[in-house]
């Protein structure tokens, strides 16, 4: 039973790998065990003994889960499945008989096939609308409903056909029935809550060695895989050494191209929507992200790694043997790969869960934009993915990688953020999982699309290129709407001046509240998507100091950042525009700065206006830009104060009067005019307030400055 | 004496134009040395000397009172003498005849801006006059260059046999400014992204780019002054309109002065010049303003043999120019796609392998940026309102932003609908504003005049911006006129003129 192959050395904890299993495994060894069964509907690992059914819950996966035991009567066991509500246990006793236990009462009943020639290949429970359990027989499918009152099954429907063998995954709700001499002719049914859908019959490709040979397709060579809510079938062609993929639509099955394989034995796992193709003979894994149409692996083939092994010196002897056993047994003969991401070492009675090492994957690929795309699609470890994305984005800039690459990286991140906003996953990524796993192949719309395509013979697959295939139905959620309103630019058509000035005042408030909101969200990262203000603060702003010598490089990146945001209609915070102004000013590109302000590429805001004024020491034009922006934003108070600073008291007063600004104190003007030492100015300012501010003549201020004026005048005349 | 002789000859010569250097020809009998350029060249030397002598006398005299800014203009009964000190002690003087019948009513500043333009374009292509003089103190080099350059420049003003200088009909234009295309934010971002791509194409050579759409500026990374020069040259010789018109002088700026005889006229001018003794034939003289010399190559790059042809392989030499603020010679490389013209300037010193480097750069641009260029062109041409895009119904206007050397005006086709009376009044108002602005350096004024033909002529200046408006067929109250201006200001100038 124990594999003794001398493949030690693979599992050293320092070794490079992209996927790993974590020590300790779930130990599912049980005395008197008669084999292991996996109930993928309930995510249970079942180990029956002669009169008991022992099961471990494997989701969520922990190594120390306690087994649950049910007692059944003795007899042969071909397979065991709990019903989806866990009220019944079904045990296949023979090719003709399945026995049921009602767990609560211990009552049993049996369902037999009608004729002897008609044997049962297997069965599975379903949450389909019309039936509860399906028997797969050599003559076809029997769909039964369970009637609790009668403690019996009631035949609902029969689907007649010849079946050689079948595969089913609960995840996809899809059963594939193989038939024909070579077992390469397939019929599929999807038994979802929407009803029973019959997929069109299709043939799998089998390369022949010569004209007369007729290879037979084996059940272990066909895998049903669910990624991104889409259902694929992968088929090993041992002669061509190819893994053919087919995608299922509601009304079509389309071949999607093939992946090369380097081992005649292939196993498949799916972790976080990444396809892991275990090249069992070579003991390496190839990762594919089949979201995009790319058939290239995410990374180079690397072995599976065991992590968290106790160090040899400290370990007790039993542990050590266990360790060496496991290590020796990597990809041993009695490894069974369970859907979607579990590995069962039947010999040792271990259950492992496969994990992805996002860090290693991102470190092993220098094509940063595609790594970012990959990371953005990961949902199991959003916090880590997000952190890695930020790190990557930062390092491409600091390493001064070619601009086009940086641009693509920025674009990927903003697109992904925009998408997560649109689908609402940005705020509630956790919930998203549920909706994607529903397993319906596609909505009818895209199905039709594909059909049209296949009819016209177009090869390229463009369906769902642009996004995750989640429904938009969550749109009505008010919190999402709110988030959208915050981040998405609703006024996409160039803001006209009236609008711009109109929103000026409260836009500042809005920004503040937004900031508060962002920090709140940070604590609970549910999506790898990075909001633009975090990109700003963790990437752009944080590299500013280091990029002083290369401000134009950073500026080019910011332009692309603004561009991507504008394409995705994402509203940006003023701080990014402030940075843009600062960088342009640093390189003394004042003419361009003017252009950016004029075309509103740098959107007007009080922060930007203040930055313009700050940089205006070198350029008077820039000060004017800042002043004009203040005026256009209707920040009258600030505008007037600035005018006074420039010594334009009278203009400021006229402006104050025209726009009825009463917040500016007269003393501001009076002090400035007094400081100018010009009695004419002071007199004019005094006169203004006397004429236009009721009651001013009686204030102490008035008398103070009248006296001051009187003191000033003679000195001028003398 | 000088005055009278000038008067007699000018009856037949409506335009005289000279450039002289006060540092030369200080000794009696060497006066001719001063003259670096004279038009008409066939004017007898005594007549030339009398113009120069009078000008020099006035400059010397006025310098007593105003050493920094000497004489600007002399208004004689029949002539106006317009002075411009292009470089220290190098003066350009234009003498134009006045005549009511021939529409010869000028605004002095408009004429002076012609002089400025000639000089700054000359410097851009050949370097400063003083530099050329220092290079060859005999003066043959500078005379040859000035002559060919100015004669090529003047062909643009040639109508039939007469020069038509900017007169009162051009009051709603401002020479020496740039006209910009107004684009939406999205398009502007695309343009900037293109600028970034061009920058990275030029890599670390610290090059510059200027992008034009039709005859309008879209983007520039140059300083405002250099932008004006390059924009002027672009609209004179490089834009699609100039290329397609086969070298005719018809342009957005100078619409109406079309002349199919430009080539022959210019030939004639140069024919005259050949007869004259001014030219130093031993210099190879580059004539960047020569007509019909630019064309679009198959790869989209504009080519010309003005700068000569590489010996052996017949590949035209890449043009070079000087920038004002950077003492670097720059390669000029122009690419055109439909309405979009892209001018790249690359420092000669950073192109170690010269022409080879340029062709590599071109290749790179074609490979990496052309898709972006197509996209921008498409976006801009979709959003462009055509020649009359900036027409505002009921208004004839000119808006000048002198801080940034920008101007925008009613399309020339619309300006021609104004009556002569209105234009003359506007010309007068502008003259007054020029004077006022020159004298007080103040930036804040407002003039509103009811002309004899009942049109309103309005001028406003505020913080470096000027606005001129002519309203014909308008209501007669002043309130109406000022409201109309306020409306215009709010709508098209971000309220720059409606502060009070």
A566/B494 Cβ within 8 A = no
pLDDT above 70: residue A248: yes
d(Cα A593, Cα A616) in Å, to the nearest integer? 12
User: What backbone phi and psi angles, to 5 degrees, belong to B68?
Assistant: -75, -50
* Percent of chain B residues past pLDDT 70, beyond the cut: 87
Tell me how close the Cα of B14 comes to any Cα of chain A, in angstroms.
40
Q: Which residue in chain B has the smallest CA separation from A629? A: B494
Give the pLDDT confidence score for residue A382 in this predicted structure.
87
Read off the pLDDT of residues B263-273 as tens digits, 9 standing for 90 and up: 444 454 554 44
**Omega before A427 within 30 of 0, i.e. cis:** no
Q: Do A651 and B499 touch (CB under 8 A)?
A: yes
A627 pLDDT exceeds 50?
yes
Distance CA B158, CA B248 (A): 11
Secondary structure element (H or E) that encloses residue A449, with its range: helix A444-456
Give all domains of chain A, ordered by start, each with its CATH number: 19-311+327-360 (2.130.10.10), 366-455+468-572 (no CATH), 635-717 (no CATH)
Please tell me whether residue A348 adopts helix, strand or coil conformation.
coil
| Pairing verdict, β A253-260 and A304-307 | unpaired
Query: Which residues in A lie closer than 8 A to residue B497 (C-beta atoms)?
Result: none
| Interval B277-304: pLDDT, tens | 333 445 578 889 988 888 888 889 998 8
In this predicted model, which residue has the larger pLDDT, A643 or A325?
A643
Instruction: Say yes or no to pLDDT of B275 above 60.
Output: no
CB contact (8 A) between residue B192 and residue A601: yes
Give the sign of the dihedral formed by CA A254, CA A256, CA A261, CA A265: negative
ipTM score above 0.85: no
How far is it, in rounded angstroms, from Cα A636 to Cα A630?
7
User: B192 and A658: CB-CB below 8 Å?
Assistant: no
CA of B83, closest CA in chain A: separation in Å? 29
Count CB atoms within 10 A of the CB of residue A452: 11
Higher pLDDT among residues A652 and A223, named by residue: A223
Write down the pLDDT at residue A322: 59
User: CB distance B500–A403 less than 8 Å?
Assistant: no
| Residue contact A497–B494, C-beta within 8 A | yes
On the question of pLDDT at B155 being above 80, the answer is yes
Q: What is the 3-state secondary structure (H, E, C) of chain B?
A: CHHHHHHHHHCCCCEEEEEEECCCCCCCCCHHHHEEEEECCCCCHHHHHHHHHHHHHHHHHHHHHCCCCCCCEEECCCEEEEEEEEECCEEEEEEEECECCCCECCCHHHHHHHHHHHHHHHHHHHCCHHHHHHHCCCCHHHHHHHHHHHHHHHHHHEECCEECCCCHHHCCCCCCCECECCCCHHHHHHHHHHHHHHHHHCHHHCCEEEEEECCEEEEECCCHHHHHHHHHHHHHHHCHHHHHCCCCCCCCCCCCCCCCCHHHHHHHHHHHHHHCCCCCCCCCCCCCCCCCCEEECCCCEEEECCCCECCCCCCECCCEEECCCCCCEEEEEEEEECCEEEEEEEEHHHCCCHHHHHHHHHHHHHHHCHHHHHHHHHHHHHHCCCCCCCCCCCCEEEEEECCCCEEEECCHHHHCCCCHHHHHHHHHHHHHHHHHHHHHCCCCEEEEEECCCCCEEEEEEECCEEEEEEECCCCCCHHHHHHHHHHHHHHHCCCCCCCC
| Residue-level pLDDT at A115 | 76
Query: B475 pLDDT band (50/70/90 cuts)?
Result: confident
* pLDDT given for residue A489 in this prediction: 53
Give this prediction's pTM. Answer: 0.77
Among A3-7, A53-57, A543-547, B60-64, which stretch is predicted with the lowest mean pLDDT?
A3-7
Q: Which residue of B has its CA nearest to A622?
A: B403
Per CB-CB distance under 8 Å, the chain A contacts of B190 are: 563
B307-334: average pLDDT: 81
Domains of chain B: 2-170 (3.30.450), 185-247+292-383 (3.30.450), 396-492 (3.30.450)
Least confident interval from A320-324, A662-666, B85-89: A320-324
Q: How many angstroms away from the CA of B410 is the closest CA of chain A?
A: 20
CB atoms A592 and B221 under 8 Å? yes
CB contact under 8 A, A494 and B463: no
CB contact under 8 A, B193 and A651: no
Contact A600 B185 (CB under 8 A): yes
Burial B272-296 (b: 16+ CB within 10 A, else e): ebeeeebbbeeeeebbbbbbbbbeb
Q: How far from chain centre, in Å, is Cα B150?
A: 12
B462: closest chain A residue by CA? A651
Suggest the residue from B323, B404, B445, B496 to mutate for an interface test with chain A (most A CBs closer than 10 A): B404
Q: What torsion, rounded to 10 degrees, do the Cα atoms B182, B184, B189, B194 define?
A: -50
Contacts of B219 in chain A (CB under 8 A): 592, 595
**pLDDT single digits (tens) A447-465:** 333 333 333 333 333 333 3
Q: How far is B40 from chain A (nearest CA, A)?
A: 40
pLDDT value at residue A653: 81
Token output for B460: 């406003």
Q: Which residue of A has its CA nearest to B183?
A: A599
Instruction: For residue range B53-101, list pLDDT tens digits in order.
Output: 999 999 999 999 888 888 889 888 888 999 999 999 999 999 998 877 6
* DSSP letters for A614-677: HGGGT-HHHHHHHHHHHHHTT-HHHHHHHHHHTT-HHHHHHHHHHTT---S-HHHHHHHHHHTT
Summary mean pLDDT of chain A: 78
Per-residue buried b or exposed e for B299-337, using 16+ beta carbons within 10 Å of the residue's own CB: ebbbbbebbeeeeeeeebbbbbbbbbeeebebbbbbbbb
Choose among A497, A563, A591: nearest Cβ to B227. Answer: A591
For residue A548, give how far its alpha carbon lies from the nearest alpha carbon of chain B (Å).
16
Q: Which residues of A36-50 are buried (b: 16+ CB within 10 A; e: fewer)?
A: bbbbbbbbbbbbbbe
Q: Is A591 an interface residue toward B (CB < 8 Å)?
A: yes
Separation of CA B208 from chain center: 21
Q: What is the pLDDT of residue A487?
A: 61
**More confident call, B128 vs A667:** B128
Range with lowest mean pLDDT among A158-162, A672-676, B413-417? A672-676
Q: Which residues pair with A312 in a beta bridge?
A: none
Q: Which pLDDT band, with edges at 50, 70 and 90, does B232 fall under?
A: very high
Top pLDDT among B58 and A211 is at B58
Residues in chain B closer than 8 A to A600 (CB atoms) = 185, 188
Q: What is the CA radius of gyration of chain B?
A: 23
- For residue A236 the two structure tokens come to 């090993």
Tally the C-alpha atoms within 13 A of residue A627's C-alpha that lie toward its C-beta.
22
**What is residue B313's predicted lDDT score, i.e. its pLDDT?**
67
Q: Report yes or no: A346 and A45 within 8 Å, Cβ to Cβ.
A: no
If pLDDT is split at 50, 70 and 90, which confidence band does A133 have? very high
Q: Which of B234, B232, B255, B284 is nearest to B119 (CA)?
A: B232
Which chain A residue shows the shortest CA-CA distance from B465? A624
pLDDT band at A509 (very low <50, low <70, confident <90, very high): very low
pLDDT (0 to 100) of residue A429 = 41
In the predicted model, is pLDDT for residue A424 greater than 90? Answer: no
- In this structure, the strands spanning A174-179 and A185-192 are antiparallel
Beta strands in A126-252 (DSSP E): 133-137, 140-147, 152-160, 165-169, 174-179, 185-192, 195-203, 222-227, 230-237, 242-248
Confidence of residue B245 (pLDDT cuts 50, 70, 90): low
pLDDT above 80 for A503: no
pLDDT range class, residue A208, cuts 50, 70, 90: confident
Which residues sit opposite B209 in a β-bridge?
B344
Residues of chain A with Cβ-Cβ distance to B189 below 8 Å are: 559, 562-563, 566, 601
| Mean pLDDT score, A462-491 | 45
Give the per-residue pLDDT at A483.
Answer: 53
Residue B439 C-alpha, separation from nearest chain A C-alpha, in angstroms: 21
The answer to whether the beta carbons of residues A555 and A593 sit under 8 Å apart is no
A62 interface with B at CB cutoff 8 Å: no
pLDDT at A635 over 90: no
Contacts of A492 in chain B (CB under 8 A): 186
Could you say which residues from 371 to 410 on chain A have a Cβ atom under 8 Å away from some Cβ of chain B? 402-404
């Amino acid at each position: 039973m124990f594999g003794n192959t001398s493949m030690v050395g693979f599992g050293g904890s320092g070794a490079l790998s992209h996927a790993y299993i974590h020590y300790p495994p779930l130990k599912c060894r049980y005395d008197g065990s008669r084999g292991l069964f996996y109930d993928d509907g309930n995510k249970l690992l079942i180990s029956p003994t002669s009169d008991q059914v022992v099961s471990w819950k494997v989701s969520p996966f922990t190594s120390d889960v306690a087994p649950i035991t049910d007692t059944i009567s003795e007899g042969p066991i071909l397979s065991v499945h709990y019903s989806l509500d866990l009220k019944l246990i079904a045990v296949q006793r023979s090719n003709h008989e399945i026995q049921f236990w009602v767990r609560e009462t211990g009552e049993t009943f049996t369902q037999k096939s009608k004729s002897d020639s008609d044997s049962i290949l297997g069965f599975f429970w379903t949450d389909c609308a019309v039936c509860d359990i399906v028997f797969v027989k050599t003559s076809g499918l029997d769909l039964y409903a369970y009637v609790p009152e009668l403690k019996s099954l009631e035949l609902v429907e029969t689907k007649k056909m010849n079946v050689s063998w079948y595969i089913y995954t609960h995840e996809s709700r899809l059963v594939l029935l193989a038939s024909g001499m070579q077992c390469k002719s397939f019929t599929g049914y999807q038994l979802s809550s929407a009803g029973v859908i019959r997929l069109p019959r299709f043939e799998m490709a089998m390369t022949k060695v010569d004209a007369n040979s007729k290879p037979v397709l084996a059940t272990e060579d066909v895998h049903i895989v669910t990624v991104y809510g889409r259902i694929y079938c992968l088929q090993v062609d041992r002669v061509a050494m190819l893994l053919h993929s087919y995608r299922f639509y509601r009304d079509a099955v389309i071949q999607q191209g093939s992946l090369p394989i380097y081992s005649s034995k292939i196993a498949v796992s799916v972790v976080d929507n990444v396809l892991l193709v275990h090249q069992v003979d070579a003991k390496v894994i190839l990762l594919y992200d089949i979201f995009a149409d790319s058939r290239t692996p995410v990374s180079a083939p690397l072995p599976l790694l065991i992590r968290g092994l106790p160090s040899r010196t400290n370990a007790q002897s039993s542990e050590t043997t266990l360790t060496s056993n496991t290590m020796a047994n990597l990809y041993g003969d009695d490894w069974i790969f369970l859907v979607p991401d579990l590995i069962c070492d039947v010999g040792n009675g271990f259950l492992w869960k496969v994990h992805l090492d996002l860090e290693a994957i991102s470190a092993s690929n220098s094509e940063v934009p595609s790594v970012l795309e990959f990371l953005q699609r990961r949902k199991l470890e959003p916090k880590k993915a997000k952190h890695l994305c930020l790190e990557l984005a930062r390092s491409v800039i600091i390493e001064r990688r070619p601009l086009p690459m940086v641009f693509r990286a920025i674009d990927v991140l903003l697109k992904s953020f925009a998408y997560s906003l649109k689908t609402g996953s940005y705020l509630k990524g956790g919930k998203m999982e549920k909706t994607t796993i529903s397993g319906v192949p596609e909505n009818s719309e895209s199905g039709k699309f594909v059909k049209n395509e296949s009819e016209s013979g177009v090869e390229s697959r463009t369906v769902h290129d642009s996004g995750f295939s989640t429904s938009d139905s969550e749109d009505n959620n008010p919190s999402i709407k709110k988030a959208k309103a915050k981040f998405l630019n609703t006024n996409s058509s160039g803001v006209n001046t009236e609008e711009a000035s109109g929103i000026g005042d409260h836009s500042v408030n809005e920004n503040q509240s937004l900031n508060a909101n962002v920090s709140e969200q940070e604590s609970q990262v549910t999506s790898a998507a990075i909001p633009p203000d975090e990109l700003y603060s963790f990437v752009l702003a944080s590299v500013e100091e280091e990029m002083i010598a290369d401000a134009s490089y950073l500026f080019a990146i910011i332009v692309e950042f603004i561009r991507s945001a504008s394409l995705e209609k994402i509203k940006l915070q003023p701080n990014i525009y402030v940075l843009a102004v600062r960088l342009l000013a640093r390189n003394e590109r004042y003419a361009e700065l003017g252009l950016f302000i004029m075309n509103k590429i740098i959107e007007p805001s009080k922060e930007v206006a203040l930055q313009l004024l700050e940089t205006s020491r070198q350029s008077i034009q820039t000060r004017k830009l800042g002043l004009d922006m203040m005026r256009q934003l209707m920040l009258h108070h600030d505008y007037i104060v600035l005018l006074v600073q420039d010594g334009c008291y009278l203009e400021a007063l006229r402006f104050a009067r025209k726009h009825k600004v009463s917040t500016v104190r007269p003393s501001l003007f009076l002090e400035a005019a007094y400081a100018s030492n010009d009695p004419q100015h002071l007199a004019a300012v005094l006169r203004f307030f006397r004429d236009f501010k009721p009651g001013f003549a009686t204030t102490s201020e008035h008398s103070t400055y009248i006296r001051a004026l009187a003191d000033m005048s003679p000195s001028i005349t003398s | 004496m000088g005055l009278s002789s000038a008067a007699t000859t000018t009856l037949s010569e409506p335009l005289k134009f000279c450039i002289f250097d006060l540092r030369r020809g200080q000794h009696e009998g060497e006066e001719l040395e001063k003259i670096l350029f004279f038009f008409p060249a066939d004017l007898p030397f005594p007549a030339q000397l009398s113009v120069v002598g009078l000008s020099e006398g006035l400059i010397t005299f006025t310098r007593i009172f105003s050493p920094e800014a000497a004489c600007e203009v002399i208004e004689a009964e029949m002539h106006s003498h317009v002075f411009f000190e292009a470089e220290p002690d190098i003066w350009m003087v234009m003498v134009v005849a006045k005549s009511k019948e021939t529409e010869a009513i000028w605004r002095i500043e408009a004429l002076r801006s012609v002089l400025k333009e000639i000089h700054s374009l000359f410097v851009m292509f050949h370097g400063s006059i003083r530099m050329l003089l220092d290079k060859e103190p005999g003066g043959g080099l500078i005379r040859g260059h000035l002559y060919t350059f100015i004669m090529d420049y003047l062909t643009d003003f040639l109508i039939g046999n007469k020069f038509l200088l900017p007169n009162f009909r051009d009051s709603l234009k401002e020479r020496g400014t740039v006209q910009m295309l107004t684009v939406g934010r999205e398009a502007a971002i695309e343009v900037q992204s293109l600028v970034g791509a061009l920058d990275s194409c030029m890599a670390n050579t610290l090059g510059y780019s200027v992008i034009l759409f039709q005859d309008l500026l879209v983007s520039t990374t140059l300083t405002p002054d250099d932008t004006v020069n390059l924009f002027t040259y672009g609209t004179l010789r490089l834009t699609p309109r100039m290329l397609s018109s086969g070298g005719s002088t018809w342009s957005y700026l100078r619409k109406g002065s079309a002349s199919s005889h430009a080539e022959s006229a210019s030939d004639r001018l140069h024919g005259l010049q050949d007869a004259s003794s001014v030219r130093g034939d031993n210099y190879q003289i580059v004539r960047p303003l020569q007509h019909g010399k630019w064309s679009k190559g198959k790869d989209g790059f504009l080519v010309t043999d003005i700068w000569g042809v590489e010996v052996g392989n017949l590949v035209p030499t890449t043009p070079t120019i000087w920038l004002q603020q950077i003492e670097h010679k720059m390669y000029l490389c122009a690419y055109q796609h439909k309405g979009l013209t892209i001018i790249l300037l690359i420092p000669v010193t950073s192109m170690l392998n010269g022409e080879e480097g340029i062709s590599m750069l071109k290749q790179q641009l074609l490979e990496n940026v052309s898709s972006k260029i197509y996209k921008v062109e498409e976006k801009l041409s979709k959003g462009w309102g055509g020649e009359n895009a900036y027409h505002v119904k009921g208004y004839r206007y000119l808006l000048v932003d002198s801080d940034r050397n920008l101007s925008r005006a009613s399309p020339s086709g619309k300006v021609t609908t104004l009556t002569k009376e209105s234009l003359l009044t506007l010309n007068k108002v502008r003259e007054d504003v020029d004077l006022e602005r020159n004298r007080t350096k103040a930036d804040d004024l407002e003039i509103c005049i009811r002309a004899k033909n009942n049109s309103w002529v309005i001028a406003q200046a505020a913080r470096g911006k000027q606005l001129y408006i002519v309203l014909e067929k308008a209501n007669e109250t002043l309130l109406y006129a000022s409201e109309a201006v306020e409306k215009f200001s709010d709508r098209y100038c971000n309220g720059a003129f409606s502060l009070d």
